[in-house]
Amino acid sequence: MVTSHIAIPPKISTEERKDRLRALRASMAEHAVDVVILSPGSSMRYFTGLGWGETERLVCALVDREAIEFICPRFEASSLTASVSIGIDHASYWEEHEDPHRLTANRLKARNAISVALDANCSFGHASRLFDAADGVQCKRADTVIAPLRACKSEAELALMKAAKQITLDVHQQIFESLQVGVRSSEVKAEIDRLHKAAGSDHGSSFCAVQFGEATSYPHGVPGDPALQPGELILIDTGCTLDGYNSDITRSYALDQVDRRVEEVWAIEKEAQAATFAAARPGLACEELDRIARDCLEAYDLGPDYQLPGLPHRVGHGIGLDIHEGPYLVRGDQTPLEPGMCFSNEPMIVVPQVFGVRLEDHFYITSDGAAWFTEPQKSLYEPF
C-alpha cells in the first residue's frame, strides 16, 4: 500500500494577504466603490486569513480605500485577534443585546460611504437587516470587484493546491489497492477520511462520494449504504483542503471485467477529457472548452447538449478556496482564460439508470497552454 508523504507547503503569508488588500483597493477605485463589506467565508479568508463561517451573529469587515474595520461580538474579540492573520487595526464590538446591523450602518455613515459592495457570501437575512439600517446606501454585489482578483492564483496558492490534490490522488490509490467485493460505501468513506487526515489535510475529507453499479449514473449519488458486488463499476469522488485550498478528484474503475459498453464509454470519457485539456490556452473563452468536450461526445452519438446518454452538466468549474468558484467552463461564460486560473475537467457521461463514468482532474492555465495538477487516470482496470 502507498503511504502519502506529501510535503505541506507554507500557508499564505501575511505579506501576500496585504498585497491582496492593496489589489482590492485598486479594484474598488476602478469600480467607484467606497466600501467593500466582507462576510465570513472564502473572500474573508482570502483577504484577512479569518476562516470563520457565518452564523446568526453578525461578523463582517468594512474595507475602505485606506483601512479595514472588523464588526464582531465583543465576547469573540480574543478569538478574532488570534484568527486574523493581517492583524487588527480597527474593530467595533457589540454586546449581545445590541443591534450589530445598526452599528455597521453607523460605521458606514462615519465613512460617508454611498457606494457599497457586499460579499456574495453574506446571507439575505444579514444583508436585508443591514441595508434597512443603512438607508440611502447604494448596494451592489462585490463579485465584479473581488472575483477577478481571486481567479488567477499565485505561486503560493498553486503550491497548496498541488499538494492537496496529490494527497487526494494518493488516497485514491490506497483505496483502489484495498477495495474488495462486499465492502460498504460507508466503510470506504471512513477510510478515505482517515487517510486524508493522516496525510496532513486541514480536516480530513472535505467531501466524499462512493458509488457502485447503477448508482454511478447519478452524478452526486443516491442515499443508502450499498455493498460492492462482483463486476460493478466504481466511482469515487473526494477531496480535502490545505490552508483552505481544495482538491477534488474523481476516479471511475472496475476490479473485474465489466460490460463492453462500459469499456467503450470509459474510453470516450477519456478522449473528451484529453481534448478539453489540449485546447486550453490563454485568451480562449471558458465556454469554448465546454463546447469542445460536447463536440467530442456528439461524435459518438452522445447528447447533444445536456441530453442523455451524454453530459448532464458543465464540463468544469473553477477551484480555489471554494471548491466551486468562477469562472466556469460552461456555455455562456465568455471569460478569457488567463495564466493562474484553475479548473476541474470532468465531462461526465451518464447512461441513465445503468451507469455513469466521470474522470475528474484539475489543470491550471500557463503562459502557453495548460498544466495538470495531477496526471489523469490511465485505464479502466489499471487506474494507477
pLDDT digit string (tens) for 304-328?
A: 999 999 999 999 999 999 999 999 9
Per-residue pLDDT 10s for the chain (384 aa) are: 444 578 999 999 999 999 999 999 999 999 999 999 999 999 999 999 999 999 999 999 999 999 999 999 999 999 999 999 999 989 999 999 999 999 999 999 999 999 999 999 999 999 999 989 998 888 999 999 999 999 999 999 999 999 999 999 999 999 999 999 999 999 999 999 999 999 999 999 999 999 999 999 999 888 899 999 999 999 999 999 999 999 999 999 999 999 999 999 999 999 999 999 999 999 999 999 999 999 999 999 999 999 999 999 999 999 999 999 999 999 999 999 999 999 999 999 999 999 999 999 999 999 999 999 999 999 999 999
Classify burial at 333, counting beta carbons within 10 Å of its beta carbon; exposed 0-12, middle 13-18, buried 19 or more. middle
DSSP bridge pairs for 316: 329
C-beta separation of 62 from 103 below 8 A: no
Classify burial at 184, counting beta carbons within 10 Å of its beta carbon; exposed 0-12, middle 13-18, buried 19 or more. middle
Would the CA dihedral through 295, 297, 300, 302 be positive or negative?
A: negative
E strands along 45-125, which residues? 60-63, 68-73, 90-94, 115-118
User: Which are the contacts of 133, defined by CB distance < 8 A and separation ≥ 6?
Assistant: 99, 101, 102, 104, 105
CA pair distance 232, 240, nearest whole angstrom = 26
Q: Is residue 9 reached through a cis peptide bond, with omega within 30 degrees of 0 on the bond before it? A: no
Q: Is 248 helix (H, G, I), strand (E, B) or coil?
A: coil
CA pair distance 116, 24, nearest whole angstrom = 13
C-alpha cell belonging to residue 188: 470506504
Rounded to 5 degrees, φ, ψ at 312 are -85, -5
H/E stretch holding 298 reads helix 286-298
Classify burial at 3, counting beta carbons within 10 Å of its beta carbon; exposed 0-12, middle 13-18, buried 19 or more. exposed
To the question of pTM greater than 0.85 for the whole model, the response is yes
User: Which are the contacts of 98, defined by CB distance < 8 A and separation ≥ 6?
Assistant: none
CA pair distance 263, 275, nearest whole angstrom = 19
